[in-house]
């Protein structure tokens, strides 16, 4: 499917807001161009990214929602911390937290990089089926963190099905 075909399909839904996600969008060579084409058409575009690819070429009109992968993910070695300097007050950083160790690590990164002052939202989300939402919410409240609690709705709606 061509980029023009994708944009035409988006146009059929006329959503106003488009999120580019799924796997790692930036691993697709045409992703940057697609996001710019959507922004050119007046869509509000957001990118959900693992943070393992450089963000320096992302169109400035795109809202970046970047993960910082905690240790239990097995992916924390892939975090590109230099991406943090490319985020601004319209962007978001997301932590998907599996356990207390991940939570403590996430809080340390929140403080180390001054994330609450850098981006519009810092999102803390429990790993579905591993950490109870109530427990994570309790830790956040106990520590009076300036973060947004988020549940992975796609896990609730579609479970672990891929390609939905």
CA distance 6 to 22: 15
CB 31 within 8 Å of CB 57: no
Structure tokens at 76: 């924390």
DSSP 28: S
Q: For residue 160, is it within any domain? A: no
The whole-number average pLDDT for the span 135-162 is 87
The model's pLDDT over 75-88, given as tens digits with 9 standing for 90+, comes to 999 999 999 999 99
Those residues whose C-beta lies under 8 Å from the C-beta of residue 9, and which sit 6 or more positions away, are: none
Which residue has tokens 């999120």?
A: 19
Q: Is residue 87 located within the same domain as residue 133?
A: yes
Identify the residue with better confidence: 160 or 7. 7
**Residue-range definition of the domain harbouring residue 116:** 68-155
The model's pLDDT over 22-66, given as tens digits with 9 standing for 90+, comes to 889 999 989 999 999 999 999 999 999 999 999 999 999 999 999
CA distance 68 to 90: 17
Q: What whole-number percentage of the chain has pLDDT above 90?
A: 87
Q: Is residue 97 located within the same domain as residue 24?
A: no
Q: Is residue 88 located within the same domain as residue 121?
A: yes
Structure tokens at 31: 């992703």
CB 67 within 8 Å of CB 41: no
Q: Is residue 147 located within the same domain as residue 78?
A: yes
- The count of structural domains within the chain is 2
CB 47 within 8 Å of CB 65: yes
The model's pLDDT over 62-111, given as tens digits with 9 standing for 90+, comes to 999 999 999 999 999 999 999 999 999 999 999 999 999 999 999 999 99
Give the pTM: 0.90
């Amino acid at each position: 499917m061509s980029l023009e075909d994708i944009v035409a399909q988006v146009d059929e839904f006329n959503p106003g807001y488009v999120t580019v996600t799924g796997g790692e969008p930036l691993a697709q060579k045409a992703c940057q161009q697609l996001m710019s084409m959507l922004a050119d058409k007046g869509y509000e575009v957001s990118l959900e990214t693992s943070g393992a690819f450089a963000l320096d070429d992302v169109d400035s009109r795109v809202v970046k929602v970047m993960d910082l992968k905690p240790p239990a993910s097995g992916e924390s070695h892939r975090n590109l911390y230099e991406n943090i300097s490319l985020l601004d007050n319209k962007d978001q950083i997301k932590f998907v937290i599996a356990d207390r160790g991940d939570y403590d690590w996430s809080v340390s990164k929140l403080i180390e990089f001054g994330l609450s002052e850098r981006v519009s939202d810092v999102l803390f989300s429990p790993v579905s089926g591993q950490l109870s939402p109530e427990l994570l919410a309790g830790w956040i409240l106990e520590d009076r963190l300036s973060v947004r609690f988020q549940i992975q709705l796609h896990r609730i709606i579609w479970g672990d099905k891929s390609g939905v």
